[in-house]
Each structure stands twice: as structure tokens, then as C-alpha cells.
Amino acid sequence: MADIYEQLKTALDREIHQRRLSGKQVSVRCKALSAVEAIGNPDHNDYPIIKGREVMMEADFAGSKGQAFTDEMENAELAVEDLLTIELSTTRSRAVFIAGLNAVFRHSGLCGKTVHCRDKEPKQCADALPEIIEPGKKVLLVGHQPRFLEKLASLCDVRAVDLDRDNIGKIFSGVTIEPREMTPDAITWCDLIFATGSTVVNGTVGDFIGKDKPVVFYGVTISAAAKILDLKTYCHCGH
């Protein structure tokens, strides 16, 4: 796991020096958005951010926005090179780093879709899943994203794992939510892993990289990290 974050820091360090960003009066300002700021007013109110299970961290780098979902956050304002000195041992610190990384890479034109979709777009994103996931496949959904689970359950054989203890053991769209401890068994079972990009913040991303099953990460959180680590992503309606 440490090696993954070292790769991210190395790539950020290279970008800072190649573009001569160090020492300039440019700051990375991180704050938590309200649910309305982050996702607007979607047709459903069962998303984790609306239920208060997660918040959206947003970093602003020279006007470019980078976001990251997290269940632990802190406000921060720091010089861009200070991102390189953050100790990435907690979810809280990783949320600041990943949001800042997304903002810097967005500013440099190295990645897009670093800002979450809003209003009706989350449903539109789910409706487009058949474009990338073949019906009938066995899919492991990592992270309880309600619209994704609804769509996948209507097309595929699905298992779902989640870190939210309030979800574990409950049935949504005919699928019982399983704990993280069941991840290895579910990976063995599935044809495809479809994992939330917020795994790069909560520290579980290593559970899914380098396995013998194809993996697609969804959402804006992993945008820059996916470019650095050469990971497949899905974010149909991100901005």
C-alpha cells in the first residue's frame, strides 16, 4: 500500500518541478462541500453523501477544482509543495492529498473529470453502465452506490462489499451487502471488479490492484491517481 502512495507523491513531485510550481504564491485550499454543493438535487436521497456518511473534499489549485469522497476530513490551506510532506497514514490526510493531487493534475491538463456529477446525472451515469459492463457477468461492486447497484443487479449477477457497518447485512436491489472481510472470496468469484475510486482515500485500493481479475474504478476521486497508476476508470458524467 505504501508503494502506491509513494508512486503518487513521486508523480506529483515531478509535475511540480517540471512546471516550476514550487515556491510560487499558489495555494491548495481544501474544504468540505455540503451535499447540495457536491451532488446538487438528485431524484433520490439515499446517496451516502446525502445521508451524512461521507463528505466531499474539494481542493482549489489556481482555479482548478479537485474533489475526493471521504468519511473523515479536515480543512486545510497549504502551498502546493506541502502536499509532498503529508504523512498518508490516515483517511483524513489522504483525503487532503488526493483532492489536492486531483486539482494540480486538472490544472496541468493531465486528467479531467475531477468534479462530481450533479442533479439527474448520477442516474444517467448508472444508466450508461451497459456500455462498459456486459450483461450476465459476475460483478463485484465495491462501495454501495445505490444507482449502480440497481442497474447492475438488473443486468448481472452481483455481490457488493462496503465499509459502512450500517449497510452490511442489509439487502438493496436484491443484493446483500457484505463486509470487507469477504472481499477475497468475492474477487475469486467475480468476472469483474467495479470499485469506488474512494478506495484510494480510505486505504483499501490495494485490495483490488494487481489481482487476476479486471478492475474498473468509478468516480472522480481516483481521477489523477488512475492516470499515474494506469488504472481503468468509469465516470460517465463527471466534470
pLDDT at 152: 97
Kindly tell me the sign of the dihedral angle through the C-alpha atoms of 95, 108, 64, 194: negative
pLDDT at 230: 96
Residue reference for cell 438535487: 41
Digit-coded pLDDT (tens) for 67-96:
998 888 788 888 899 999 999 999 999 999
Tell me which amino acid residue 177 is. Answer: I
SS3 label, residue 27: strand
Dig out the grid coordinates for 147 from the structure. Answer: 444507482
Bridge partners, residue 64, by sequence? 61
pTM for the complete prediction? 0.90
CA 88 from centroid of its chain's CA atoms: 16
Radius of gyration of the chain, Cα coordinates, nearest whole angstrom:
17
Kind of pairing between the strands at 171-172 and 157-161: unpaired
pLDDT at 66: 94
**Span 121-234: which CATH code?**
3.40.50.11590
Name the residue among 77, 73, 61 with its Cα closest to residue 111.
61
Name the residue among 205, 217, 51, 218 with its Cα closest to residue 122.
218
| Strand ranges of the sheet holding 192-196, from the earlier edge strand across to the other edge | 171-172, 175-178, 157-161, 138-142, 192-196, 215-218, 232-234
φ/ψ of residue 58, rounded to 5: -130, 125
Q: Which residues of the chain have a pLDDT value below 70? A: 1-2, 23-27, 30-53
Residues 195, 206: Cα–Cα separation, whole Å: 11
Tell me which amino acid residue 219 is. Answer: G
Dig out the grid coordinates for 63 from the structure. Answer: 482555479
Kind of pairing between the strands at 192-196 and 215-218: parallel
Domain boundaries, the chain: 2-107, 121-234
pLDDT at 189: 98
SS3 label, residue 160: strand
